[in-house]
Amino acid sequence: MTAEDPGPALEQAWREQWGRLTALLVGQLRRLDLAEDGLADAFEAAARTWPRDGVPDNPPAWLLTSARRRVLDRLRGEAVAAKKLPVLVVEAGLQEEAQLVMADAGEPVRDERLRLVMLCAHPALSRENAAALTLRMVMGVSTADIARLFLMPTATMAARLTRSRKSLAGERFEVPLGPALAARVGRAADVAYLSFTAGYAAPSGAELLRTDLAVEAIRLARLLRELLPGRPDLDGLLGLMLLQHSRRDARLVDGRLVLLPDQDRSRWHSAEISEAFAVLRPHVTAPGTPYLLQALIAAEHAISPHPEATDWPRIVQRYDELVALADSPVVRLNRAVAVSEADGPLAGLRALDGLELPGHRLPGVRGELLARVGRTDEARTELTRAVDLCDNDPERAHLADRLAALEG
């Protein structure tokens, strides 16, 4: 044990170890509910005891051992479960896994996490529920933040997660083969991008960025590409993530949000941009997929030396292709922004006609475009609504600044 403030160590363990430890527990128990509940109890115990006893030398091993004890206590109280899964067998297996974490948390843990991702991507679940379950089980995103990502009440999301866990009871904990693998990889790709989104633009709280979550999502995308190399959708996914992630250091300055046109492009990470270009290059003229088209849109910004050089008509063309493949309110909102840059704010406002989208982004965009055409009263109304609906502190501050500028 070390005598230090346990807060940072506990936070780091939550962000970096949740999915790894969950996967190890599920690998032995084959029960998502036991694994998650046991690990949650272990973190609660750490929050109580680490301030008193100090941070352990190996926090992941401590958490896994603590979770194991709580799972075994519960199994001993469940006679039916104990018959199906003898306690002594579980105890021996989990002790072996605890030794693994103490010694080496590398490849074996990665394999377990991949199995957990494939389990959460099971066809028994809807694509949305598979994504939500993976965000919770693998990435450790809170139920409240997952609910915000899916634009629904927290209680509704909590009920969905519970039903999803029950739906997977008894399913095999393995990486499937053949067509089943391809189908689950597609689902897992959606999960990876939702995870990345949670890290790239946090839906709530004081942080706009959760770099650790974005990095983990990129790692998941790399693993998926290793499973099925050469697929345009997976290459597009990785390229898109790398291009967006490359801008992370320019998106916030002194805690304030900086929009893409105003970012210092010298702070963009050139190595990640170069890797993205290498990944995307074989697919530039290939038939589009949703992730590939989004990546090619992001690439247009990366190849422009300054905002005025951006080829907005080409970006609108890419969005038109994307609408044809995967139409959604979010895609149409982003297309309207591109149209406003290519053809002016009035054209952008026309592109927003009839669009409905919960949250702050639609009134935020509409308010900005209304301000550009001089319709100040309407702009003020929309921006006020956007501020009221925004749960993320840096974005809310940016919207409030825009509103103050109109009122000044």
Confidence check: pLDDT of 239 > 80: yes
Mean pLDDT for 22-41 is 82
Q: Output the pLDDT for position 38.
A: 87
For the stretch 50-62, what's the b/e string if a residue is b when 16 or more beta carbons lie within 10 angstroms of its beta carbon? beeeebbeebbbb
Count Cα neighbours of 65 within 13 Å in the Cβ-side half-sphere.
12
* 360 pLDDT higher than 90: yes
pLDDT at 208: 63
Start-end of H helices in 228-311: 232-245, 248-251, 270-280, 290-302
Instruction: Give the span between the Cα atoms of 124 and 231, in whole angstroms.
Output: 24
- The residue that leads in pLDDT, 93 or 9, is 9
> Residues 20, 138: contact at Cβ < 8 Å?
no
Nearest to 46 by CA among 71, 12, 90, 93: 12
pLDDT at 202: 61
Residues belonging to the chain? 408
Between CA 276 and CA 112 the distance in angstroms is 28
Contact 345, 369 (CB under 8 A): yes
| pLDDT exceeds cutoff 60 at 238 | yes
The residue to which tokens 């519970």 are assigned: 162
pLDDT for residue 244 is more than 60: yes
> How much is the average pLDDT of 69-92?
61
Residue 4 has pLDDT above 70, yes or no: no
Global pTM? 0.72
